[in-house]
Amino acid sequence: MEKYRIVLASASPRRKQLLAQIGLTFTVCPGEGEETLQKESPQQAVEKLSRQKAEEVFGRMPDSLVIGADTVVACDGNILGKPKSEEEACRMLSMLQGKKHEVYTGVTVVWPAAGRAEGQKFTFHECTQVEFYPMCAEEIAAYAATKEPMDKAGGYGIQGRCAAYIKGIAGDYNNVVGLPVGRLYQELHKRALV
């Protein structure tokens, strides 16, 4: 039984599925702010973006517990967000193929606090290492043409067709999908929020 009305500040169908998977009842209200990456570490970037989303939605729904999340892929010192075109998806996949990279998801939770209009909050990030098998140019182009990469950090979905090119992962699989729900639940539970 949830103590607060839970709101997911994300339009991601994958995050919605993951949150439902752990049995939480929630509504969806995506953040409306602009996502911009500065010259930051991947950890700082995902924490900042998740905080912005959660705070913005909490400002509209201050009686709720709001969960904001953001995911990026980091490879060879480059932060990869969502590709804006098939060509950009191909560039990202070319960078990732045959190598290991990291997937970072930042999560921020904001909930009501007596006398504090901004509420209480906590933020954390999770990191998972993913290794790709080598991909030839034709395989990369064919995958990009499916449009599956277009709304996904790093230009791929580990739970989709790209599974054919995943050699291995070290860490939380759900983090790569978009939300480290095990850690999120544990963080909520230890604060007696669920």
Q: Consecutive sets of 10 residues in the chain, 194 residues long: mean pLDDT of each?
A: 86 95 95 75 95 96 96 94 95 98 98 90 98 98 96 94 97 97 97 92
**DSSP label at 155?**
G
Q: Check if the beta carbon of residue 70 is closer than 8 Å to that of residue 46.
A: yes
| pLDDT score recorded for residue 18 | 97
Strand-strand pairing, 64-75 and 100-113: antiparallel
Q: How many residues does the chain have?
A: 194
In the chain, what's the furthest Cα-to-Cα distance? 59
| pLDDT score recorded for residue 86 | 96
Residues annotated as catalytic are 70
| pLDDT score recorded for residue 39 | 75
User: Within 10 A of 146 (CB to CB), how many other CB atoms are there?
Assistant: 14
Q: Check if the beta carbon of residue 127 is closer than 8 Å to that of residue 43.
A: yes
Distance between CA atoms of residues 20 and 67, nearest Å: 13
| pLDDT score recorded for residue 37 | 67
| pLDDT score recorded for residue 31 | 87
CATH 1.10.3730.10 fits 5-190, yes or no: no
